[in-house]
Structures are given as C-alpha cells and as structure tokens.
Amino acid sequence: MNRSISSLVLFVSLFIALNSNAQQAKPVSAPSAAGSAENNSVFDGQTWWNYVKVLADDKLEGRDTGSRGEHTAEEYAVKQLKAAGAQPAGVNGFYQPVKFVSRQIVEKDCSLALVKDGKREPLILGQDAIISTRVMPAAEVSAPLVFAGYGLKIPEQNYDDFSDIDVKGKLVVILSGSPSEVPSALASHYQTGSERWKTLKAAGALGMISIPNPASMDVPWARISLNRAHPTMDLDYPEFNETAGEQLVAVINPASADKLFEGSGHTFAELAALGKDRKPLPRFPLTVSLEAKTKVDTQKVESSNVVAVLPGSDSDLKNEYVVLSAHIDHVGIGAPVNGDRIYNGAMDNGSGSALLLDMAASFKKHPEKLRRSLLLVLVTGEEKGLLGSKYFAAHPTVPAKSMVADVNEDMFLPIVPLKVLTVYGLAESDVGDRVREAAQEFGVPVQPDPQPLRNVFIRSDQYNFIKHGVPSVMVDVSFEPGSPEQQIFKDWLTNRYHAPSDDVNQPVNLETAAKFEDIIRTVLVNLADTTARPEWKQDSFFRRYATGE
Ligand SMILES: [Zn+2]
C-alpha cells in the first residue's frame, strides 16, 4: 500500500516503539477446507506462500521501482504466467514500459525556518519537519502561513475550508483528515495530492504544510523521518504533471506543531482533539511565516508493468476484460531497523502479486470456462504514488471501454482467522455486491471501510481504474471494530508496515489465505460469466468518471 499519501496526510500511534516483539512463528499449515464451500475450494495457502517466499526473498532487495530486484521479480512473474498458460498482453510481450523521474532531497542544502517579527527560528529537518519531494519544490519560498482546518473544498457537501480565510500568496497549513459529515470515499478523493492542489491553486495558495492527524498515523514519526532521504518518483510525461506551480509541500511532526501556532490563540492539542473525532476545525491566520530553501537531485528511471491475459471462451464477451491487479514493486533498501536494511514487502505487496500468480495457475489446474477474458496486471511504482497503475489506466493495453471491472489486491493481510472481509468501494458499484455474494458462499460477512481516516480507498491502484470509469474494489482480510483482531492489525501496521520486518519470518495464516483466494476467485468467475456488466451505483460519487458528467 502507498504510504506517501498517508505520510503527507495521515498517521497512527506515535508512541509505539520501533522494535517489533511479535513472535517469529512459522506459518500454520492449512487444514483441508470444510463446510458448504468445500466444493468451491481450489487453494491450499501453500502455493500462495511459495510465491510470496520468492518475491520477498532478500535477493530481490525489496523490489524498488526500476531496481534490479524489481526486474528479477517481474521476470519471475512472467515465467509463472507463461507456465499458467497466460498470454502476453503488454506492449513488449508481457511488459509495458513506464518512464519515471526520481527526486532525492539534498538535505544539507535545504532549510526551513519560521519567521516572526524579523526573528528566524530554524526547524530541524527530520525532527520537526520534512520537505516532500512528491512535488518538485521551488528553490526558495518565503510566505505567510494560514491554518485552513482540513484544507478541503467539497462542493458535493457544500463544504469549504477556504470560504472565510485569505490564502492568496500564502502557504496553507492543514491537519490531515476530514470532517465526519463527509463520506469516507469522498473525503479520500479530495485528499489526493492532485485534488488538493486544484483547490489550493484556485484559492491562490503557494503550497501546503500538512500536520499528520495523530489519531490516524499508520507509521510513527521516527520511522517516517528515518526514510526521508529515500527518493520519490513521478511519471516522466508532461500529461501527468498535476502539481505544476505548487512551490512547497512539507510535513510537520505533530510533536513540533505548536511552533506554528504560537501567538495564534490556538494550540495543536486543541486542534488534534477536534481532528481525532472528525469535528469541525477553526480556520485562522498564523502569526509566523515560513522560509524554505530546497535542493533536489533528479534522475531518470525506467520500469515496466506486466500484463497478461487468460482469454475468455464467449465469442463476444471475450473482448471484454475483468482486471485483477496488484503492485509488484515495494520500497527497496532503506535505513536499517534492527540491523536489517531490506524492506522485503512480503505482505506489501508480495501477498497480492502472489495471489495473482496463484490465481492464474489455478485456472490451468482447475479449468473453468470464463466467458470474459481475465486481464492480469502487475503494476510498478505503486509505492511512489500509484504511478504504474496511473500510467496503465491512462494507456491500457486493451481498449479502455473493454475493462468491465477491477479487483485490486494489495496487502490483504491473512494474519488472523478469516471472520470478516473489508471491501473498499463496497457501496459504490455492484462489484461490491458480487464480492458480498461470493463471500457469503464461504460463510464470510463483508463490511465497508472500518477506518475511513486511513484513506485506504485512494491509497492503492484501484483508484486509477476508478478515475477512468472502471467499477473497482479492493478486498482485505479484516476485523470487526473492537475485536481482539483489531489490535493485531494495529500492531502489524505499527511494527511491520513499510518496515524490514514485513518479511517471510512473520506469522501468517495459510488457511485464511486459501479461503480468501477462493472468495476472490469466485468473484472473478462471477464477473467474467455474468452477462450484465458491473455498474456504478446511481448515487456513487465515482460514477461521474464513467459517465463524464
Ligand atoms: Zn506499501
């Protein structure tokens, strides 16, 4: 899953130690499936785990976008897809090349300082603040600051944080998150970097300083800060430059945020308490200005998406595609944690890539007549901001209108017994209904996003399909709010998410993985075989991308 959006916008548990003390148990083996779903059971968990073990091996060095390790992972995936009888559906065989520009902060030549009454107070980079390279920053920026609450303008809800403040020529300070009256999918949409910049630009602002909402930080500040020198990437094509003109994006450590509010009559504790419960936030000018000097090195990087097809059997419907997508890249080699520098990404997203390969193999082992074709898309650059899928959705290797649905799998986390699934986008299209039906066959209930503040709906590749009108969902193993499993997931995010310990030595539940795959397979078969195309719900916000309204 993509953290950069989250590291700009949101976050969990600041105070939990970096050292993982979770037990290093071996995976439990899967007993044979039982109950009503027995006949539908195709997977055993072990074949899935075998793929994960290859993709998350230290030799693949964390599969950073454009790296040797990622290339090796893709070669391996292509070999497996060929063995499963899938046909190439990229541009060069299975591959669709994608060009990137990488940006790395040269921190020794950068500075941030707060200025008040002619007095400069430097912010310590890493400790107090981070300059984001997601946007190419201007070399020098000096501007007054204004606090704009959540910094959102949502016409559908008549919500506007900019209606009563002047942000012209200023840097806008925001608390990440959204007010509770805004539905989570809509809130997520308006918190993407490109939507935020549209709003800020229209209001005349120069850039954004975000303060993570301590109530929803996925990764503690110490870990975010640790990897701030890691390069970011962008697609290297003019058509994708959505932040042109944005002069600065920076993130302030919540623990240092009070420095911004001095003399404003407000404290960060007061604002964070409101943000925690998604209550309305005040907006007000700040008494300090910000001076920024930045230096960023850029470099060209090349990578590829991998695209394969299992052709459908129906003479007409085979020209339509059900997409199964997963990102194969991860974050590579980074700052060491407990002496380990390789961020293996076993769950993120070795797990989803493995599911895709396992799924392809299952259709060879258990042939099933699929009426529509199944398009298997392993994307690159997800961790850099959903970039491979952004490129693919804009330049699909099959006709754009022929993609009837996307089921995306990213970090589905089979780490607890399977009691409930979360379906991101459950209420948005009837793909959600098909997932509900399929899960029911296996006795598993589904629920919508239980933690809307984490913005998961926009944090993985399904979002780019959605923006091109394709009804999409992402499905995860989940927990019921308030259950003991909730703590297991929270600990996982704190200790292993985007950390070197997301590796093959962590405990996983192969029985859950198998059942999960069975459910996803049932969904895919349903989508491929039901004559009616999936549709957006009439009241879905995202329907506009399909209808162009
Ligand atoms: Zn990730």
Reading the block at residue 300, the tokens are: 């060209």
Residue 213 has pLDDT above 80, yes or no: yes
Ligand 1 centroid to 234 CA: how many Å? 16
For ligand 1, the distance from its centroid to the CA atom of residue 275, given in whole angstroms, is 25
pLDDT at residue 27 greater than cutoff 60: no
CA of 498 to the centre of ligand 1 (A): 6
Q: Which is more confident, 33 or 306? A: 306
Residues 330, 74 contacting (CB under 8 angstroms): no
**Span 166-198, pLDDT tens digits:** 999 999 999 999 999 998 778 888 998 889 999
Q: Nearest CA to 464 among 310, 303, 325, 304?
A: 325
Name the percent of the chain lying above pLDDT 90.
80
Residue 476 CA to ligand 1 centre (angstroms): 14
**Spatial separation of the C-alpha atoms in residues 301 and 101, rounded to whole Å:** 6
Bridge-based pairing of strands 119-123 and 111-116 is antiparallel
What is the DSSP annotation of 70-94?
HHHHHHHHHHHHHHTTPEE-SSBTT
pLDDT class for 3, splitting at 50, 70, 90? low
Average pLDDT, the chain: 91
Cα separation of the two ends of the chain: 30
pTM above 0.85, yes or no: no
Give the distance (Å) from ligand 1 centre to CA of residue 291.
32
State residue 18's pLDDT score. 25
Q: Tell me, in angstroms, the distance from the centre of ligand 1 to residue 175's CA.
A: 22
